[in-house]
Structure 1
């Protein structure tokens, strides 16, 4: 699919006499335009990598529809069209070219015009530096034109290193299996061509791909965090962002939406970071955008700075101890707070900032007795460390420790240290989890040495699910465990294997 390019328009109708431009050209023209241009055009580019194929450049185009002519077509309806030519040239040779007419929808009434003609194209290109040129001309008024030129450097990720693609911002996205030029991995992604978010545009939606985590990490899981930071000051805005734990693979997808309803006017970067289980930064990508929200102000920094720690229980914690406390709180923190904790630790925040964060965290959980809430939790952390600690990790850093702290003690733990042809595993049963009823967790010890059991399957909402989890325990290929309940797979005797029985109890 990457050897071709595609076109589609997004249909948005408004009354012609009420049309006005929401965006100023200098805010979002990603490429250079000619001084002779008299057509308004907005264009962005983003690079992705397709394993076994190579790097492809996606172009996202939006042409406001109110400037076009809409004569009648052969069916008697009103329709505008723009002649578009794009090409990538290298050493005097054209390496990729597209020339086509981008048409509006056919309209019944000329009082209505199409708000924006939106188009997306894909160009498969070898690594190198290219001269890019795009020209645009209204088919029905040839004097209305626009030319864009740019130098584009195409690169391919090092196969031995983790990398993040460009960040594609979106107007919206939805699940859709049908193949279109806007479709990726089962989702239709309608591009947002501008980087300007006015008041009322309150969602920052984006798509990115993460490459080569399997080559770098093997079977280890990794963490992808995303957040917004102020462009001028570099300050990370703790309220905006989140994280997602992922299984390693050659290409992993990050598709997210951040509410920016309360984000004040300013210049910002959206940042994506990939870290391993030791919190080592593996890859990073960013996208610059502008926000206009005049009535909104942020008071988060003021609240944090004004937090009184002098007469609180956190005052006596030294820097190393308070850092340990923050890390141990991550299993019960929500996505935003967890990301804030990791940000404080990675940035080596000062002791007072971490103390204020810790105090505020426990005040939010129990305003009447924050110390009591922390003390009870600290006892659970001690218990988790005692039972689940490994040579490399505290107990609360392990999968079993995290589940225990997040959901509480299970009603039943079935431990199987040795079965014929299988690795050690545990199955935890919960009779009742909040808002979801019963739940089961399956943990697997694949190295047989460190006591670091990994979660490989769960029925709980938001946890990892793998219907072929038994193949990990019994070292079979996915699908080979279909008749384990009958005691055989591939003609071999599997007497003594009890995972199904333990799971179904």
Structure 2
């Protein structure tokens, strides 16, 4: 009897601790060159993801419960002024039972144009149904788009391979490809493939290039997985750079993805890195969706 009561107390304590925790916010930022030559600066894509686990679910009807989070995004200049600010309300799918072990995260993406320079991206999330619970996440950002040599954009980690689409006016489409973000670079339960997307600028026009990519455990000099691909430099627009790696043989941990662009003589033209987290025992968050 005492053991049963003790176990019940531990469960209740864990649930109360989870309920008291503020909602968690994940910010992912990718910077691309602005193809509109009239507008100076770069295109910045901000991916915002809120975990559904720490949100408060309110009853909306018989066996209908829903949460809501208010997210404020700011891009702050070095002098403290705001280059961009917006507040949105996100609502995860309705649950029939609030004791469900998996509560889906909610995500959205914003695409803005910023002049070259340094900024701080700040995201603040509040639980609409629980006063006094909020958290703030800051990320540094540098926008630099004036390079004339071959240059890679930021690498976007994807939850699934990029796919061709005919939809227009969608913030998730670049170069005619639909991109589904892997929030926080996290690959978890059910995610067997790492996919990525980047853009190569000032590529040698019409010339074949080799794309080499690898992941290494943080601090390691040995490849945990690697791959190669090919592309041809395009004229008048960015050259898409895509790749995929198998994660199933990797142990859980922190990794660094390195993407290299080389010419026909195997000379390095450009490179870029991205942080990857692999945890097959955890639940994988969904890719970003429109609010």
Equivalent position of 2:159 in the other structure: 171
* Cα deviation code 1:131-189 (max 9, x no counterpart): 3322110111122211122332222141x211101111111244432243322333332
TM-score when normalising by structure 1: 0.46
Supply the distance in 2 between the matched residues of 1:268 and 1:70 (Cα, whole angstroms).
35
Q: 1:223 to 1:130 in 2, by over 3 A?
A: same
Select the structure of larger CA radius of gyration.
1
* Residues 217, 254 of structure 2: 8 Å contact kept: yes
Distance of 1:208 and 1:75 partners within structure 2: 46
Cα distance in 1 between the residues matched to 2:265 and 2:134: 54
1:40 to 24, 43, 50: 24
Q: Is the CA contact 2:93–2:104 (under 8 Å) kept in the aligned structure 1? A: no
Q: How far is the alpha carbon of 1:108 from its aligned partner?
A: 5.4
Residue of structure 2 aligned with 1:247, choices 227, 230, 233: 233
Q: How far 1:71 sits from its partner (Å)?
A: 2.5
Aligned to 1:477: none
Residue pair 1:224, 1:246 contacting (<8 A) in 2 also: no
**Structure 1: stretches of 5+ with no match in the other structure:** 1-16, 21-35, 295-505
- Larger mean Cα displacement after TM superposition, 66-75 or 91-100: 66-75
**Corresponding residue for 1:51?**
35
2:84 is equivalent to residue 96 of structure 1: yes
**Matched-pair contact (CA < 8 Å) for 1:43–1:62:** yes
Secondary structure class of the residue paired with 1:273: strand
CA–CA distance in 1 between the matches of 2:173 and 2:129?
31
Does 1:191 find its partner at 2:178?
no
Contact 1:48-1:55 within 8 A present in 2 as well:
yes
3-state SS of paired residue (1:190): coil
Conserved 8 A contact 2:73-2:122: yes
Q: 1:185 to 1:67 in 2, by over 3 A?
A: same
CA distance in 1, matches of 2:53, 2:220: 39
Q: Distance in 2 between matches of 1:123 and 1:274?
A: 27
Q: Separation in 1 of the partners of 2:150 and 2:130?
A: 49
The match for 1:139 among 128, 135, 140 is 128
Which residue of 197, 203, 208 corresponds with 2:198?
A: 208
| Structure with more strand by fraction | 2
Q: Which of the numbers 154, 161, 168 marks the counterpart of 2:149?
A: 161
Output the TM-score relative to the length of structure 2. 0.76
CA distance in structure 2 between the aligned counterparts of 1:100 and 1:143, rounded to whole angstroms? 18
2:250 to 242, 258, 263: 263
- Three-state SS of the structure 1 residue aligned to 2:53 is helix
Query: Following the alignment from structure 1 to structure 2, what is the Cα–Cα distance between the partners of residues 115 and 230?
Result: 28
Other-structure match for 1:276? 263
Task: Find the counterpart in structure 1 of residue 111 from structure 2.
Answer: 122
**Count of equivalent residues:** 256
In 1: Cα distance, 2:57 partner to 2:233 partner: 51
Give the deviation of 1:219 after TM superposition: 3.2
Question: 1:41 and 1:92 mapped to 2: Cα distance?
Answer: 22
Residue in structure 1 matched with residue 4 of structure 2 by the alignment:
none
CA distance in 2, matches of 1:138, 1:293: 28
CA separation of 1:262 and 1:157: change in aligned 2, threshold 3 A: farther
1:287 is matched with: 274
Q: 1:278 offset after TM fit, Å?
A: 2.2
1:245: how far off? 2.8
Superposition pairs of residues 297-376 of structure 1, within 5 angstroms: none
Unaligned runs of 5+ in 2: 1-10, 15-19, 282-291
- 2:229/2:243 contact within 8 Å kept: no
| Residue 111 of structure 1, CA deviation | 5.5
